[in-house]
Amino acid sequence: MMKEVDETTITRAIAEEFLKKFMDYTESDVIVVGSGPAGVTAARYLAKAGVKTLILERNIMMGGGMWQGGMLFPEMVVEAPAHKLVEEVGFKMKEYEKGVYVGSSPHISAKLIAAAMDAGAVVFNSLEVKDVIYRKDRITGVVVNWHAVSMLPPFLTCVDPLSLKSKVVIDATGHQAEVARIAKKKLRLDIPEPLEGSMWAVEGEKATIRNTREVYPGLIVCGMASNSIGGLPRMGPLYGAMFISGVKAAKLALEKFNKKIKIDSEIEEVLEV
């Protein structure tokens, strides 16, 4: 016989447990904004290193563009050696041709998301970053509100946001580079206007990893956000650089805590290019 659960018990369980977590994560070591391929990879490596890691995702579901490989075809392509970052979470990729791997994008997405959370990262979904917190010469957190609030009619949108602090913020918001865009506008940062270039997959992959960096004290960009603020060529549905960029972002963040992570030697080599 199934346990009979009162409606108010359901309400209390949800509210109490979330608010307990929310209070705990008003201050984190690292906030990762965006949960696409770069974001969840960065979060997994950070959490594995014992860093208090919060992922903010404005959508209900995590994963960004990972769920559909390309043009709604649910297969993901990853080149060597980045395929190892998929296989280390328990998904065996098929070698399509030498050094080029393919696999079910929904399955890979689910594995990567679960691995980040299993490592200890916490996610608040449906939360959107509206601004950054700053002190003199560095970013010290983000200002958030429910994503649904931004969809309300203007006369209803006087809903003040709340603030979450961290020692490092990672912008993994994809093509729009939303955190970097906000910081550029409000703090007048000397970074390019986010605007990705046209397709050149090989150069786009290399340049995205190269441009994964700290653009302002306390703010690191990775994935398509790093691509976009550099005006770099896009690579389309090829995911290797996204994953490796996430590893690099985690490595850069961990340096601030005097921590290191164990990285596969082939991937480490790509990080240094």
65 appears as a binding residue in the annotation: yes
Residue from 121, 138, 151, 159 nearest 33 by CA: 121
Distance CA 67, CA 46 (A): 23
Residue from 265, 249, 263, 245 nearest 53 by CA: 249
Distance CA 95, CA 98 (A): 7
204 appears as a binding residue in the annotation: no
80 appears as a binding residue in the annotation: no
Residue 151: C-alpha distances to residues 36, 95, 145, 157, 267 (Å) = 22, 43, 11, 9, 41
CB 99 within 8 A of CB 79: yes
CB 91 within 8 A of CB 108: yes
213 appears as a binding residue in the annotation: no
Distance CA 203, CA 220 (A): 21
CB 189 within 8 A of CB 225: no
58 appears as a binding residue in the annotation: yes
129 appears as a binding residue in the annotation: yes
160 appears as a binding residue in the annotation: yes
Q: Looking only at Cα atoms, what is the longest distance across the chain?
A: 64
224 appears as a binding residue in the annotation: yes
Distance CA 212, CA 68 (A): 24
Write down the number of H helices and E strands in the chain. Answer: 9, 11
Please provide the DSSP assignment of 104-170 as one string: EHHHHHHHHHHHHHHTT-EEEETEEEEEEEEETTEEEEEEEEEGGGGGS-GGG-----EEEEEEEEE
CB 67 within 8 A of CB 106: yes
Binding site for Fe cation: residue ranges? 160, 175
| Known binding positions for glycine | 234
Binding residues for NAD(+): 38, 57-58, 65, 129, 160, 224
Summarize the annotated binding site as residue ranges.
38, 57-58, 65, 129, 160, 175, 224, 234
